[in-house]
């Protein structure tokens, strides 16, 4: 898998987004890094207003090498379309298992990356990493015994409200 880019002039409707003709960061480029040799996964592009790396577009993404783990690294761009790999090593590198699906936020002076981890401890779990020099509600991906869902973690208890809504909920057939 690779990373593609698309755009729209109306992000609030179900109109199809327009895709750029080619994926960015092809893996046959000479500067392809070992940790993305096999595949590239989820990306998160942010607008670094401080240009702390010299670029407005900074992208974090996870990749997989010829080994059973995933790590996350960075790419940068001046125009979002032409992407340059930044550095050689990953920025999140756990000894084993998966570190994937980065989502960046900034809390005060701290850069925080939420991501999902798996297999360096049992199962899969939400995790985060912090940095001072780099660079609410939180929707997260959950795995239950019935199906995969989108869950909502909130800073106040919404359970009573949610239970009232659930009375009217429709149950879908199991995922194929």
SS3 category, 167: coil
Residue nearer to another protein on the CB measure, 35 or 41? 41
Tokens 């790419």, residue?
Answer: 75
Under the criterion CB under 8 A, does residue 52 sit at the interface with another protein?
Answer: no
Looking from the CA of 124 toward its CB, the CA atoms found within 13 Å total 12
List 148's β-bridge partners, or say none. Answer: 143
Closest contact distance (angstroms) between CB of 74 and another protein is: 13
Binding segment for another protein (CB under 8 A), chosen from 28-36, 86-94, 99-107, 126-134, is 99-107
Task: Report how far residue 103's alpha carbon sits from residue 113's, in angstroms, rounded to the nearest whole number.
Answer: 5
Under the criterion CB under 8 A, does residue 123 sit at the interface with another protein?
Answer: yes
Report which DSSP code applies to 90.
-
Binds another protein by CB under 8 A, chosen from 67, 88, 151, 162 = 162
Looking from the CA of 2 toward its CB, the CA atoms found within 13 Å total 14
Q: Cβ atoms within 10 A of the Cβ of 70, count? A: 29
Report which DSSP code applies to 26.
-
Under the criterion CB under 8 A, does residue 105 sit at the interface with another protein?
Answer: yes
Residue nearer to another protein on the CB measure, 34 or 119? 119
> Applying CB under 8 A, which residues contact another protein?
1-17, 19, 23, 39-47, 57, 59, 79-80, 98, 104-108, 112, 116, 118-119, 123-124, 136-137, 139, 141, 143, 148, 150, 152, 154, 158, 161-162, 165, 175-176
């Amino acid at each position: 898998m690779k990373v593609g880019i698309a755009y729209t002039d109306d992000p609030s409707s179900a109109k199809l987004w327009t895709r750029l003709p080619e994926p960015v960061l092809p893996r046959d480029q000479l500067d392809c890094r070992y940790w993305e040799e096999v595949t590239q996964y989820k990306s998160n592009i942010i607008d670094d207003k401080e240009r702390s790396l010299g670029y407005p577009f900074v992208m974090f993404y996870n990749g997989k090498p010829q080994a059973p783990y995933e790590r996350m690294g960075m790419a940068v761009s001046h125009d979002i379309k032409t992407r340059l790999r930044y550095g050689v090593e990953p920025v999140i590198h756990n000894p084993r298992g998966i570190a994937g699906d980065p989502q960046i936020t900034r809390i005060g002076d701290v850069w925080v990356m939420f991501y999902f981890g798996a297999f360096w401890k049992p199962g899969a779990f939400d995790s985060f990493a912090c940095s001072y020099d780099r660079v609410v509600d939180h929707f997260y991906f959950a795995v239950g015994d019935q199906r995969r869902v989108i869950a909502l973690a909130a800073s106040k208890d919404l359970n009573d409200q949610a239970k009232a809504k659930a009375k009217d909920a429709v149950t879908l057939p199991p995922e194929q």
